[in-house]
Structure 1
Amino acid sequence: MTTDTTTLLPHALPTCVNARIALFAMRRMGAHGLADARAAHAFFTAFGQGFRRPLVLMRVLMAELASTAAGTIAIAPCCCARMTPAEAALVSILGRIEMAPEKARLLTTDLLGVRRVENVLMAAAAVTAAFADEGRPVS
Structure 2
Amino acid sequence: MLPACPHARIALFAIRRMGAHGLADARASHTLFTMFGQDFRRPLILMRTFMADLAAHASGQIAIAPCCCARMTAAEAALMTILSQMETAPQKAHFLMTDLLGIRRVDSVLTSAAAVAAAFADEGRPISY
Report the Cα offset of residue 49 of structure 1: 0.5
- Fraction of identical pairs, as percent: 72
Give me the whole-angstrom Cα distance separating, in 1, the residues matched to 2:79 and 2:52. 14
TM-score, normalization by structure 1: 0.91
Counterpart of 2:4 in structure 1 is 15
Give me the whole-angstrom Cα distance separating, in 2, the residues matched to 1:97 and 1:108. 11
Counterpart of 1:100 in structure 2 is 89
Q: Deviations over 1:108-130 (max 9, x none)?
A: 00000000000110000000000
Give me the whole-angstrom Cα distance separating, in 1, the residues matched to 2:107 and 2:12. 21
SS of match in other structure, 1:82: coil
Which runs of no fewer than 5 residues in structure 2 stay unpaired? none
CA RMSD of aligned residues (A): 0.4
Alignment of 1:117-128 (within 5 A): 117-128=106-117
Give me the whole-angstrom Cα distance separating, in 2, the residues matched to 1:83 and 1:138. 16
Give me the whole-angstrom Cα distance separating, in 2, the residues matched to 1:23 and 1:55. 13
Paired residues in the alignment total 128
Give me the whole-angstrom Cα distance separating, in 1, the residues matched to 2:81 and 2:121. 16
Q: After the TM superposition, which segments of 4 or more aligned residues of structure 1 sit over 3 Å from their partners?
A: none
Which runs of no fewer than 5 residues in structure 1 stay unpaired? 1-11
Report the Cα offset of residue 95 of structure 1: 0.5
Q: Which amino acid aligns with 1:71?
A: G
SS of match in other structure, 1:59: helix
Higher gyration radius (CA) = 1
Give me the whole-angstrom Cα distance separating, in 2, the residues matched to 1:100 and 1:82. 24
Q: Deviations over 1:49-71 (max 9, x none)?
A: 01000000000000000000000
Which of 21, 25, 36 pairs up with 2:25?
A: 36
Counterpart of 2:43 in structure 1 is 54
Give me the whole-angstrom Cα distance separating, in 2, the residues matched to 1:60 and 1:52. 12
